Amino acid sequence: MQASNIALILVDLQVDFMPTGMLPVGEADEIIPMANNLMKDYQTIVATQDWHPANHGSFAANHPWRKPGQVIDLHGLQQILWPIHCVQETWGAEFVAGLDTESITKVFPKGTDPEVDSYSGFYDNGHRKSTGMAEWLKEQGIEEVHVLGVATDYCVKFTVLDALSEGFKTTLLRYATRGVEMAPGDVEGAIEEMRTAGAEIQ
Ligand code: VGL
Ligand code: ZN
């Protein structure tokens, strides 16, 4: 059992990020049994849920003649365009069927504003709006977080970096993460960034 001031953060364990989903992350399904096992050891478990409206600006399909992987300026921020994924109220946005969702204490949706993406579970990519996760964790007396999920090089990375800047002692459960690896080395680079920022890597 982990101490009661330590929370487990599950990042985006949703249908669309699994190997058969709309934004597939290789071997992401391997995380599910690990997450179910780990959850038994924590009293506070939060899950982030990528939760986009259909008109979200991160979807290539919402920009004429653009395709996934291209980068555009979205209201002043560099935005990588993605396939349509995790649309609110659709199957793809659901947590993976085998995930023990009963054990999740609280869910934090993100990416709900069509004008700005949100990789981190704490803030949007412009760092303007909080999801309330940091405040909520602090209210519960949480001082340390352990992070797993997808994608190592996007939502996991930015969640870990924000956790550190919010003052949480932060561990990346690397074995229970999988990455997009759009370019070779992206996952390794993300892990080094997290380590440099002060995260412990397990
Ligand atoms: C993610 C790209 C777009 C992630 C979410 O969960 O890492 N990546 N939306
Ligand atoms: Zn997304």
The Cβ of residue 73 has, within 10 Å, a number of other Cβ atoms equal to 8
Mutate to test the pocket of ligand 1, among 16, 22, 23 (most ligand atoms within 8 A of CB): 23
Nearest ligand, CA of residue 56? 2
Please give the domain boundaries of the chain with CATH numbers for all domains.
Answer: 6-53+88-201 (3.40.50.850)
50: left (phi over 0), alpha (psi -120 to 50) or beta: beta
| High-pLDDT (> 90) share of the chain, % | 100
Per the omega criterion (within 30 degrees of 0), is the bond before 151 cis? yes
Q: Is the CB of 108 under 6 A from ligand 1?
A: no
- From edge to edge, which strands make up the β-sheet containing 106-110? 106-110, 44-50, 6-11, 144-150, 169-178, 200-201
Closest atom of ligand 1 relative to the 156 alpha carbon: 7
- The answer to pTM > 0.95 is yes
- Give the per-residue pLDDT at 41: 98
- Ligand 1 in contact with 12 (CB < 6 A)? yes
* Residue 120: per-residue pLDDT: 98
